[in-house]
Amino acid sequence: MTIAEQIPPCNLESERFILSSIMYGGKQTAFEAFEIIISTDFYDVRNEKLFTALTDMAVENLDYDIVLIGDYLEQKGLLKEIGIDYLIELNQKNGSPAQIKHYCRIIKEKSLKRQLIQNLGKTLELCYDNSTDVFELMENAYTEIEKSFSEVQTDGYDSLENIAQNYIQKLETSLVSGLKTGFEKLDEITGTLKGGDYIIIAAATSMGKTAFLHSLIDNWINKSGILFSLEMSKEQNLTRLITMNTQIPANLIRSGNLYEGAKYNIKKYLENLDSKIIFYDKSINIKKLKMLATKLHRIHKFEFLLIDYLQLVGSIGNNDNEKLALVSSISKNLAKDLDIPVIALSQFNREACSKGDHRPTLNGLRGSGMIENDSDMVFAIHRPYYWLSPEEKQNLKPNFETDVELIPLKNRLTGILDTIKIWFDTKKAKFIEPQINSHFQETEKAAF
């Protein structure tokens, strides 16, 4: 039997159960069903039209019984099409309002399958056309699946009263406190990271963008999260973490010329490593990234998502700016849909940072317009030492090389734009809180 000859996915008994439950339970049951399904999710046209009528009655605050429902259908010219006998049959089923959501999910699943069949039908036909580009086909398939996937999002609205009550409950259970970064000043400025936050960490080449991301990962090693690493392999990422925790230089680890003590320390670290963080290191487009992240989040319940870096994520568009705009927009939506913070790295134009005092600005951000619009916060990594001449470096105080500024260029969440002073530990290749003997600490002491 071909696909065309098969009966589309449906569950008519579940459809009838839902309608019977609404007729029995009234307006509240109708609203509970409408949170999950819409009329077009019904396969039987009679059921679709009856569900529309029942939800319309609920919106109009009308009472329910079989006589009133029949009168309403007659007013709308639907009674003859649905049939009085069918109404009586549904009324006698005595559905259970308590189980309404379970049966709604059943027919929602069937509806989504029918949509996939319909949306992917054209793509399947094109697969037999030898002149069609396979990568274009795959992109079309992702687009059509995205259309169907968007139908699952049925909980995007809520009243301010409910939002306030939920917030109060979080306050009482200390759940308002979000994910701490391991940097005290950064947590003060962000108010800690929370679900829905879309944060950009930007820097010019060689400023340490990826190293900063690895520093966060090391601070969150016992959390559940995912890193989409488009610049480094899984093994390269792990090597960075090994260096952070053993102080064995990455070049020595990569060379393989390790003394026994170093091998022992590496093995000990790896044996004690118990982390739920997932690393993904293949090239990927933004739509596949969203689908994969959503699928894995259902299983692993991520607390954060990291992208290294935005400009390497595949996309579609007429130019680089359009492609980046789509990547940024979907990344922002992903933070809201999964209710976790999404942190993405982004590049600065080197030319923009090479002027004046070399301090980065939003104008130097590649694709700054789209990223600035989507992001909740943008931080720039600035290392003053990097821009000094050889003569200037000779006259520096000790440890100036390791001093780093994390500059908030945008902060939609708290509005605080104070520069954060951190330190780069060269032995661990990790960003940490400023040490007592750092240049920043000496400067702050001299001020008092």
- Residues 78-137 have pLDDT tens digits of 989 999 999 999 888 877 888 888 999 999 999 988 888 887 777 777 888 888 777 777
pLDDT band at 368 (very low <50, low <70, confident <90, very high): low
Non-local CB neighbours of 151 within 8 Å, separated by 6+ positions: 111, 112, 115
**Taking all residues of the chain, what is their mean pLDDT, rounded to a whole number?**
82
Whether 324 shows a pLDDT value over 80: the answer reads yes
Residue for token pair 């000859």? 5
CA separation for the pair 37, 101 (Å, rounded): 9
pLDDT band at 438 (very low <50, low <70, confident <90, very high): very low
The burial class, CB within 10 Å (0-12 / 13-18 / 19+), for 372 is: middle
pLDDT band at 448 (very low <50, low <70, confident <90, very high): very low
pLDDT, residue 442, reads 43
Check: CB of residue 348 under 8 Å from CB of residue 204: yes
pLDDT, residue 317, reads 67
Who wins on pLDDT, 436 or 80? 80
pLDDT, residue 181, reads 92
First to last CA, the chain: 84
**Residue 300: DSSP 8-state:** H
Cα distances from 263 to residues 258, 266, 389, 415, 430, in angstroms, run 6, 5, 39, 47, 21
Residue for token pair 């009263």? 161
Average pLDDT over residues 424-446: 64
CA 125 to chain centre: 33
Say how many C-beta atoms besides its own lie within 10 A of residue 167's C-beta: 12
Q: Phi and psi at residue 202, in whole multiples of 5°?
A: -125, 150
- DSSP annotation string for 367-388: THHHHHHH-SEEEEEE-GGGG-
CA separation for the pair 14, 415 (Å, rounded): 51
pLDDT band at 348 (very low <50, low <70, confident <90, very high): confident
HEC profile of 91-133: HHHCCCHHHHHHHHHHHHHHHHHHHHHHHHHHHHHHCCCCCCC
What share of the chain has pLDDT > 70, as a percent?
A: 83
pLDDT, residue 376, reads 93
Nearest to 154 by CA among 102, 97, 105, 98: 105
pLDDT, residue 439, reads 45
What share of the chain has pLDDT > 90, as a percent?
A: 25
Nearest to 110 by CA among 25, 5, 18: 18
pLDDT band at 47 (very low <50, low <70, confident <90, very high): very high
Structural domains of the chain in order of their starting residue, each with its CATH number: 3-150 (1.10.860.10), 175-446 (3.40.50.300)
pLDDT, residue 446, reads 34
Check: CB of residue 430 under 8 Å from CB of residue 424: yes
